[in-house]
A and B are shown apart, each in its own frame.
Chain A
Amino acid sequence: MTCPSALELSRARTLGVDPAIAAHLAGCAACRDHWDATTAAIDLARELPVAIPPAARREEVRTAVLAASATVAGPSTRRTWIAPAIAGAMAAGVLIYVAVPGGSPPARHAHGAVRPRAGAHYDTSWSGATEVVRLSDGVIDIEVEPLAAGERFLVVVGGAEIEVRGTVFSVAASARHLVDVVVSRGHVDVRPETGPSATLAAGQSWHVTAMPAPSPPVAAAAPRPTPAPPVRPVLLSPPAGAPPAPRAVDRRASAAPRMARPPAPSELAPSAPPPERTERSPAPAVDEVSYNQAWEALRANNFARAVSGFSRVILLAPDSALVEDATFWRAVALARGERRADARAAFQDFLDSYAASTRAGEASAMLGWILIDAGERDEAARRFHAAVGDARAAVRASAQAGLDALATPKPRR
C-alpha cells in the first residue's frame, strides 16, 4: 500500500483512524515513527504549565464580567429597534449627563434613576403610586424627580426605610442592614430599624452607629487545648491615631480586574458595539466612612465589627485604593478575633493579590505564626523566610522569632 500523506495522517489523528490507515501504520515503520513523533509532541505540549488564577481572582473576573455585561445593550431587541434605540440612547445620554456627570447609564425608573455600583443587590417594585427600591447589599445612587401629589418613592433596607421627595442621594447596605445615607440634593427622611428618624438635607449624611454582630466562627464551638505560645513580637495591633492614608496602589499589579479590552466588533462573529470600559471610580465618601469605622472598631478590639467594616469597603469599592489596606486589615482583624482559619485564608488572599505590597512581609510573618499554630511548620518557615528581609525592624524581628521557634524541637506529648 502506498503511504498516506502526512496531511492524511494528521487528519486521521483528529477524525479517527480508519482500518486501512491502522493496518498501514502497523506495517510501515516510517509512518509509525511519524505517528509516534506527533503523539510525543502533543503529549509534551499538554505538559506545559497552565496557570489558572486563584479562585478569588476568578471571582473578581466573574464580578467584572457581570458588571460590564449590565452596561452593554441587551441582546434581545437591539437589531429590531436599532433606530429608536439610537434616538433613545441619545436622549438618555443627555439626561444621564445632566443627572450623573461622568457616570455610566443608570437604570431608569418612573420616578427617577437608580444607579447601582458594582456588587449592589436591589430590586424595584410598585404598589399603586408608590415605587419601592429594596436594597440588600451594596451601594446605589438615586436621583428622584419631583413627585406629584400622592406619589411616593421609598428605599427599603431590611426594616429601615428612606422616603424621598425629589432628591439625589446614595444608600449603602450590608446584609440587609442600612449602613449609610448621603444626600447630595433635596431632602430625605431616614427611618432606621432602631433609633430615631432623621430628616437629612443636602450635604448631610446618616451613618449606622452599630451593626448586628456577625455569626460566631464555627471553630469557636469546639475548644482546643491551648499550647504554650512562643514569644512573638506583637504585630497585630494597629497603631493608635487616625487610620493610615491609603497608599498608592499599582493598579496593574494588584487591582481588581479591569474591564476587558474587546477587539473591534468587525473581528468577531456578529457585529455589535464593544463592551464599555468602566471608568475607575473615585473613592466615595461612604467607603471612607466604612473604612474609618472599621479602623476604629479594630482599635477598640471589636474585631467582628472591624471585619464587617473592612469587608464592606472591599465590597462597596472594589476599584478603590482603599481595598488593599482593607484586605490587609480585615485579615488582621480576623487573626485578632481568633478566627484563625479565616485569617489564614485572608492573609493568603492578600499575599496572592498584593504580592508587591509593602505590607507583604508583615502579612507573611503573621501568616507564619498562624501556620505554626496549625502545625504546618514547613509552610510557616517559608512565610517567615519571606519576611526576614522586610524593611520594618518589627517585622524582621517577628519573622526571626518565628524561625527561632521553628528551630526549637517540638515538645514531646
Chain B
Amino acid sequence: MSGKLVPLRRITGELAEMSDEAVLAACGTGDAHALGALFDRFHEAVYRFAARLPVTDDLARDDLVQATFLEIRRAARSFRGTSSVKTWILGVAANIARHTLRAERRRRVHQARYLEQIAGAPEAIDAQVERRKLLAQVAEALATLPSDQQIAFILCDLEQLPGVEVARVLEIPEGTLWRRLHTARKAMRAAIQKATR
C-alpha cells in the first residue's frame, strides 16, 4: 500500500498567478498544491541539473528530483529571500547531490556509464567525429572533477546562476566558490587543449 491523501490536481486560479516566492511560502505551510506548483515550475531545471551530473543514471536522477522536492517541502520555511527561488531550489538539489556524490564507488560506476552514454551518442559520421571526441573529453573532464567543483561549474557556468547567490545557497564563502570555479574551469580548459592538440 502506498501513502496517504495525494491532492494531485493542478493548481488553478490565483495560486497559478502567485510569484515563486509566494508559492514557496505556501509550500512552507504544508500546502500540497503549492508543492505541485513548484514541481511544475522548476522540475525541468532540477532535471537538467541532475542530468548534467555525470554520476546519475535515470533512476538516480528520478531519486534526486524526488528527494529535492521533498526536501523543498520540508525546508521551505527556511527560505530567506537572499536568492531567487530557482537558485535556492537548485541549491537544495546540489546539497542532496553532494551527499550522493560522496559515495566514490558508486560514483565511478555511474561515471563509466555516463561516459559510455556520451561515447555512444548517435552522430553523423566523419564530419562530427572530431567534435564527438572533443565532447567526450569535455564530458570526461567534467565527470572527473571533484563533486564540489562539478556543482559550482554546473550552477554558475552551465545554469548561469549568480555566483553570489550560489555561494549563499551552498553555504560557502564567496572566495571558496571562486576558487572552485577557477579550478574547474582550468581543468575543463586543459581537457580541451589536450583534445585539440
Contacts and interface: CB of A to CB of B under 8 A. Distances in A.
Contacts of B14: none
Contacts of A206: none
A257 B60 CA distance: 10
Contacts of B142: 45, 48
A319 interface: yes
Interface in A358-408: none
Interface string A268-294: 111010011011011010000000000
B66 A116 contact: no
A104 B6 CA distance: 13
Q: Which of A7, A48, A76 has the most CB of B within 10 A?
A: A48
A65 interface: yes
Interface string B38-65: 0110011001100110000011011111
Contacts of B77: 75-76
B106 to A, nearest CB: 11
Nearest to B185: A38
Q: Which of B2, B6, B8, B73 has the most CB of A within 10 A?
A: B2
Interface stretch (A55-63, A85-93, A323-331): A55-63
Contacts, number: 230
Given A61-B65, A62-B36, A62-B39, A260 B70 contact: yes
B186 interface: yes
Given A53-B58, A258-B59, A270-B75, A65 B163 contact: no
Contact of A269 (B70, B92, B117): B92
A70 B59 contact: no
Contact of A259 (B36, B66, B185): B66
A269 B95 contact: yes
A262 interface: yes
Given A10-B185, A269-B95, A258 B1 contact: no
B9 A65 contact: no
A41 B189 contact: yes
Main secondary structure of the interface of B (DSSP, over half): helix
A167 to B, nearest CB: 18
Interface in B128-178: 134-135, 138-139, 142, 153, 156-158, 163-164, 171, 178
Contacts of B65: 61, 65, 260
Contact of B30 (A57, A74, A114, A141): A74
B35 interface: yes
Interface residues of A, number: 79
A227 interface: no
B149 to A, nearest CB: 12
A120 interface: yes
Contacts of B192: 37, 40-41, 44
B102 to A, nearest CB: 9
A75 B4 contact: no
A211 interface: no
Given A65-B66, A75-B30, A45 B188 contact: yes
Contacts of A11: 163, 178, 181-182
A264 interface: yes
A88 to B, nearest CB: 16
Contact of B117 (A49, A66, A272): A49
A29 B153 CA distance: 25
Contacts of B105: none
A114 to B, nearest CB: 8
B32 A69 contact: yes
Given A53-B62, A120-B6, A278-B3, A75 B28 contact: yes
Given A68-B3, A260-B63, A260-B64, A47 B189 contact: no
Contacts of A50: 48, 51-52
A104 B51 contact: no
Contact of B191 (A41, A74, A264, A282): A41
B75 A264 contact: no
B1 A117 contact: yes
18 contacts: A7-B182, A11-B181, A41-B188, A41-B192, A48-B138, A48-B142, A49-B118, A52-B48, A61-B62, A69-B70, A75-B29, A120-B6, A121-B7, A260-B70, A261-B67, A262-B96, A263-B96, A279-B1
Top 5 A-B residue pairs of the complex, sorted by shortest distance between their CB atoms:
A260-B66, A263-B99, A260-B67, A41-B188, A10-B182
Interface of B: 1-9, 28-30, 32, 35-36, 39-40, 43-44, 47-48, 51-52, 58-59, 61-67, 69-71, 73-78, 92, 95-96, 98-100, 117-118, 121, 134-135, 138-139, 142, 153, 156-158, 163-164, 171, 178-179, 181-182, 185-186, 188-189, 191-193
Given A11-B182, A122-B5, 18 more contacts: A42-B157, A44-B134, A47-B135, A52-B51, A53-B47, A61-B62, A65-B39, A65-B66, A66-B35, A72-B73, A75-B29, A76-B77, A102-B1, A260-B63, A263-B95, A263-B100, A264-B99, A267-B99
